[in-house]
Amino acid sequence: SRYFTIHAHPEGTPERELFALETAELPALAEGEVRVRNTWLSVDPYMRGRMSGVTTYIDPFELGAPLQGAAIGEVIESRAEAFPTGTRVRHMGGWRDIAQLPAEQLEHLPDFDVPEQAYLGVLGMPGMTAWAGLNRIAEMQEGDNVLVSGAAGAVGSLAVQLAKAKGGTVVGIAGSQDKLDWLESLGVKAVSYKDRDADELTAALREACPEGFDVYYENVGGICLEAALNTLRVGARIAVCGMIARYNEATPSAGPDNLAMLLIRRARMEGFIVFDHWAHYPQFLEEVGPQVESGRLDDDETVEDGLERTPDAFLKLFEGANRGKMLVRL
């Protein structure tokens, strides 16, 4: 098996050299174990947190051990009845070509007529995150005006489309012209945060939606949060999904100084972790699966080829190089 590991905890933006590609001989399968040839690997922003050596809601990566992440692959050897050779599975043994795992750590893929990598993106953890944040945390109602930051990413691009399907005005914040054009093509008003300060971004959001927002879906933090707070309607809800602008900060920057807007607008701000909502995954699949199958939802993705490119794909998340879900194809 070839796998990536790290031997130190990065400070600031990780260097490419942090990631070491290593090789290990896998032991013979024990009873109940399965060997999987991975076909798709997921890289996700939360992995940056696991590299820091600090326990948050999830354990840090162990230095020198294979990194972990969501992956899809095919069973090539099995000592577990439920997963015979040839079965397509999802599991957390990513960042490597061959994974060997106990059967309890494998999931069968749901059987929608979609490409299998959809179960790492629009019908996987990021999709579930968009759905849970919008419906269960922000409690979005029909006709609500919705603002989403990181709107052209894996989570954000589904959040804007789900909001659009039952919303009033939906505004997405993103960082490049290509992403703004894509969002506009989805019927979303697109606003750039690049080369703007919080006041300028506030003005751009007010222009896009003068009434203000009932829901803010937060993926970025920093000036996006500050501007969003300025544009809330009374009774607004903020779902705090992520704050990617902060993940590579060696020293934390000051937060927005207008949190009092929560008070003035009688708004609620709530963080969440998608895994706490996983019991609702079947409901999510039932609702969103058919829409992906029929092509009603645009699940654009950005693909890097080859195991060697996994760290590059991961680092590109922080440069905004992806439209939709960032994936590695093996």
Q: Give the footprint of ligand NDP on this chain (CB under 6 A).
A: 44-46, 126, 129, 150, 152-156, 174-176, 179, 219-220, 241-242, 244-245, 272-274, 317-318, 320, 322, 326
Confirm if 176 and 214 have CB atoms less than 8 A apart: no
d(CA 286, CA 278): 14
Say which residues have a Cβ less than 8 Å from residue 301's Cβ, sequence separation at least 6.
117, 121, 323, 324, 325, 326, 327
Please, which residue, 83 or 247, has the CB nearer to ligand NDP? 247
Q: Which residues, listed in sequence order, are joined to residue 33 by a DSSP beta bridge?
A: 102
As measured in angstroms, the least distance from the Cβ of 267 to ligand NDP is: 19
Residue number, 46 or 112, with CB nearest to ligand NDP: 46
Cβ-based nearer residue to ligand NDP, 14 or 45: 45
Number of separate helices (H) and strands (E) present in the chain: 9, 15
The SS3 of residue 264 is helix
- Residue 252, Cβ density class (10 Å: 0-12 exposed, 13-18 middle, ≥19 buried): exposed
* 8 A C-beta contact, residue 8 and residue 48: no
Q: Which is nearer to ligand NDP, 97 or 301 (CB)?
A: 301
Q: Which CB, 112 or 272, lies closer to ligand NDP?
A: 272
* 223-230 vs 198-208: helix crossing angle, rounded to 10: 50
The least distance separating ligand NDP from the CB of residue 117, rounded to whole angstroms, comes to 14
> Could you tell me the smallest distance in angstroms from the CB atom of residue 214 to ligand NDP?
20
Three-class DSSP category at 281: helix
d(CA 92, CA 68): 6
Q: Which is nearer to ligand NDP, 112 or 318 (CB)?
A: 318
Shortest distance, CB of residue 239 to ligand NDP, whole angstroms?
9
Q: How far is the CB of 64 from ligand NDP (least distance, A)?
A: 25
* Residue 302: CB minimum distance to ligand NDP, A: 8
